[in-house]
Amino acid sequence: MTRQQRQALDELLRHGPLDVGGDIAEQRAIFHEMIASIPLPDDVSAKQDELGGVPVVIVETPNLDPSAAILYFHGGAYALGSAPDSVGLAADVARRVGARAISVDYRLAPEHPFPAAVDDAVAAYRALLGRGVPASRIAFVGESAGGGLAVAALVALKDAGLPQPASAAVFSPWADLTVSGASATGKAALDPALTPEALRTRARDYLGDRDPATPLASPILADLTGLPPLLIQVGSHEILLDDAVRLAAHAAWHDVAVELQVWPGVPHVFQSFAALLDDADHALTAAAAFIQRGLVADGPETEEATEESAA
């Protein structure tokens, strides 16, 4: 059954209308329409808010622990997508973890080039701490460019002297904006969603004249010393496979506790398709277990802190 599911998903993506490297206005609309066509479960609540001047969407599901929070970073190659568009996957993660998800609506390129997205991620996290949520009760989660952004934000937090969150889980992270991994070409025929040309186009939009090897743009080249435990999930049928593998190796080199999970025969951010793909369901369950292990390390905080964080 899983093989048939993988083939069906591959066909769906290959014949879909989205072109990540295409006209930005057109592709933003297509991306939103694709997401909006998938109804949210009735028990998912999504509320607009702001953290540190950055728009966010607070996503809640039943039976959550209000003392814990997932800071979520959506994908879209730094030019597409939004926090509202991310609610479906963020809610799925949040439900499995039993925590709120707070999806960050960071500024997009080319209107707001690097380091705007990193600045927004740091500002949102700083404000979440200011609301009384301790770092030990926060996990970062990101997909695609949001996965790379999550790791870059961790590095920026270290540089700013802020405490690290409990952990970070990233799905198919775009961690190398030089697009130099061997899988960028070696997996191109198998990847139904992304092309190296599309990523290079969006990297230019995001970076402008900046060097794509800048560590906060390409955290695969950053000093990752001191980062929290990291889970990296990736499919073997995507051009960002090498980004994930090299990011895991780089984290290990810098003494970061890291788990790499390569799921065979599945595409970019396959976790989005848990309703269609058993592998996606299993991957999200594994990610939730990883996040829960980190969040329970110090136990729940006081009721006072919990009430303040929920305000």
Is the alpha carbon torsion for 59, 61, 66, 68 positive or negative?
negative
The structure tokens 């136990």 sit at 299
**Which uninterrupted H or E stretch holds 230?**
strand 230-235
Give me the sheet containing 45-51, strands edge to edge: 45-51, 54-60, 99-104, 65-73, 138-143, 167-171, 230-235, 258-263
Catalytic residues: 144, 238, 268
Q: Alpha helices of the chain — where are they, by DSSP H?
A: 2-14, 24-36, 87-97, 116-130, 145-160, 183-186, 196-207, 241-253, 278-295, 303-310
Q: Are 146 and 219 in contact (CB under 8 A)?
A: no
Tokens representing residue 62 in the block: 């039943």
Contacts of 303 (CB under 8 A, 6+ apart): none
